[in-house]
Structure 1
Amino acid sequence: MDTMLYPELYKSLEAVRWDMEKDIPWDSFDASLLTPEQATTIKMNAITEWAALPATEMFLRDNHHDSDFSAFMSIWFFEEQKHSLVLMEYLRRFRPELLPTEEELHAVRFPFDPAPPLETLMLHFCGEIRLNHWYRCAAAWHTEPVIRHIYETISRDEARHGGAYLRYMKKALVQSGDTARAAFAKIGVLMASARRTEKPLHPTNLHVNRALFPRDTVQSRLPDPEWLEHWLDGQIQFDGAWEGKVVDRILHNLSLIFERTFKTVQELNRYRKEIVLRLQAQNGGAGEVPQPA
């Protein structure tokens, strides 16, 4: 019988949960170290974090068959919404004119098209790794000490969320075998190939509702749809070295759960093709056709 992960994850995440009043050094704020440009990026991050709301609605809809994972969403949703809340609290205290309106927040709540649960799980696992690195990079770029502390704090949450998703991926490998391997490898190749696509792939900027195109991404519904690329490239300067760290973490974790070493995306893609061929053989030739590298 499978063991539910939710009780254990609740206990471990509860043990390290931070308190917004006690654990954020609000009294250390230094107005001279916060520029208008920096403050605006905080507003945009607060809105993007609010998109955990439609993501949770998607997860619960598409994982109706999995009560263990759906229960874990209560933790993930709470902590992600707290990220939006702490960024808004920072603005409320120190830059109230930049506080997002309810309309700006509600604009990123829109239905995501149904998607295969295993692929979505892997997508968000990679997204947590990427966000952990984005926020660590943002903390280094900021000069005001309170917001630096906030970004460091929420970056650690994202890392823990990635670890929780990895636990559910391991469980899926036991339950679904090669079907899970194929889904995880497929999304792993996509998400670790950002340097080749010249686009920082993350759930924030992926197309998730065909009917709403071109306003079918979280990014497209922000007050400034061009903000994300500008933040990454021109402001926090999330460069090739940082991107390399993201790719390394994705490959390292897939190496662990697949029990095979992947040093490059190409090696992972070759493994993906192996799994697809194995699935096709099991299904009498039906299934996904391997894509060219």
Structure 2
Amino acid sequence: MLYIDLFKSLERARWNMETDIPWDTFDASKLTDEQALTIKMNAITEWAALPATEMFLRDFVHDSDFSAFMSIWFYEEQKHALVLMEYLRRFKPELAPTEEELHAIRFPFDPAPPMETLMLHFCGEVRLTQWYKRASEWHTEPVIKRIYETISRDEGRHGGAYLQYMKRALKQGGPGVAAAFAKIGFLMASSQRSDKALHPTNLHVNEALFPQDTIQSRLPNPEWLEHWLDEQICFDETWENKVVGGILRNLSSLLGQPFENVRELNKYRKQMLAAA
């Protein structure tokens, strides 16, 4: 079981919210209302680990190992929401998310193929790692800078854990699994072909609830994410290339074939579909 070793490794890396966050270095002069509002929105989106975990446990009912790992992932992702809310509770209480705002993003996701879902969330972790690195650079207040650095490292470790389950699935499933990974990797790395950077936060996941079937659509301000990326943290082409490069490098290693760009990945996807 992968869960046993993953538990040990992630336990060793776990940080303490009371002692590892330098709360006493807070500098009110370096926190603007604009910045504080983005912290609120990120806290709410991190709360989306709740419906995502419910989805995983439903769609991976056949896999007790991965389902057990969800106990770690869910705990650490909810901790991200909690530390952001704690920051607001201490320093900007009027902007702390309400229980109603948090509950609004808890809704059922439609069932989806498990391997595609696994790859989707791996790519999401790669992207969040870079989003939060950039957020830490954008912020000027020292405590929130440390918080974003801390949760960025968590997202990177989560991506590594997903990758281990992907390696196992590839050994068990062959070309069909490889095709699923290549398909989602191609879509998630094709940001230049889309009008937005794809992430589980802004994907449609419940057909019956359209158009309120994305996490983003249920935020207090559904337009916030694009504004945060484009106008605030300025997640530009240089940063986007880090995301795409991370996806392509990991898939190259996983699938045993070099992918220099998304076109090569798409070509491989078609080959695996034919083989499957």
Q: TM-score, normalised by structure 1?
A: 0.94
**Pair 1:215-2:237 in alignment:** no
Q: Specify the alignment match of 1:96 in structure 2.
A: 93
Q: Specify the alignment match of 1:291 in structure 2.
A: none
CA drift at 1:257: 0.8
**1:55-114: CA deviation from partner (whole Å, max 9, x where unpaired):** 000000000000000000000000000000000000000000001000000000000000
Q: Specify the alignment match of 2:20 in structure 1.
A: 23
Quote the Cα distance in structure 1 between the aligned partners of 2:8 and 2:135. Answer: 29
8 A Cα contact 1:52 1:77, kept in partner: yes
Quote the Cα distance in structure 2 between the aligned partners of 1:144 and 1:184. Answer: 39
Quote the Cα distance in structure 2 between the aligned partners of 1:253 and 1:9. Answer: 19
What secondary structure does 1:260 align onto? Answer: coil
Quote the Cα distance in structure 1 between the aligned partners of 2:30 and 2:255. Answer: 46
8 A Cα contact 1:233 1:239, kept in partner: yes
- Number of residue-to-residue matches in the alignment: 276
Q: Specify the alignment match of 1:38 in structure 2.
A: 35
Q: Specify the alignment match of 1:174 in structure 2.
A: 171
Q: Specify the alignment match of 2:61 in structure 1.
A: 64
What secondary structure does 1:115 align onto? Answer: coil
CA drift at 1:198: 2.1
Match runs of 1:200-239 below 5 Å: 200-239=197-236
CA drift at 1:181: 0.1
Q: Specify the alignment match of 2:117 in structure 1.
A: 120
**Pair 1:154-2:132 in alignment:** no
CA drift at 1:54: 0.0
What secondary structure does 1:143 align onto? Answer: coil
**Pair 1:195-2:229 in alignment:** no
Quote the Cα distance in structure 2 between the aligned partners of 1:65 and 1:13. Answer: 24
Quote the Cα distance in structure 2 between the aligned partners of 1:5 and 1:60. Answer: 16
Q: Give the fraction of aligned pairs with identical amino acids, expressed as a percent.
A: 74
**1:36-63: CA deviation from partner (whole Å, max 9, x where unpaired):** 0000000000000000000000000000
Stretches of structure 2 lacking an aligned partner (at least 5 in a row)? none
Q: TM-score, normalised by structure 2?
A: 1.00
Quote the Cα distance in structure 1 between the aligned partners of 2:170 and 2:140. Answer: 43
Please list every run of at least 4 consecutive aligned residues from structure 1 whose deviation after the TM superposition is greater than 2 angstroms: none
Quote the Cα distance in structure 1 between the aligned partners of 2:96 and 2:192. Answer: 33
Stretches of structure 1 lacking an aligned partner (at least 5 in a row)? 280-293
Q: Which protein shows a greater Rg?
A: 1
Q: Specify the alignment match of 1:247 in structure 2.
A: 244
Quote the Cα distance in structure 2 between the aligned partners of 1:222 and 1:195. Answer: 25
Quote the Cα distance in structure 1 between the aligned partners of 2:195 and 2:257. Answer: 28
Residue identity opposite 1:139 in structure 2: S
**1:184-219: CA deviation from partner (whole Å, max 9, x where unpaired):** 000000000012102110000000000100000000
**Pair 1:130-2:124 in alignment:** no
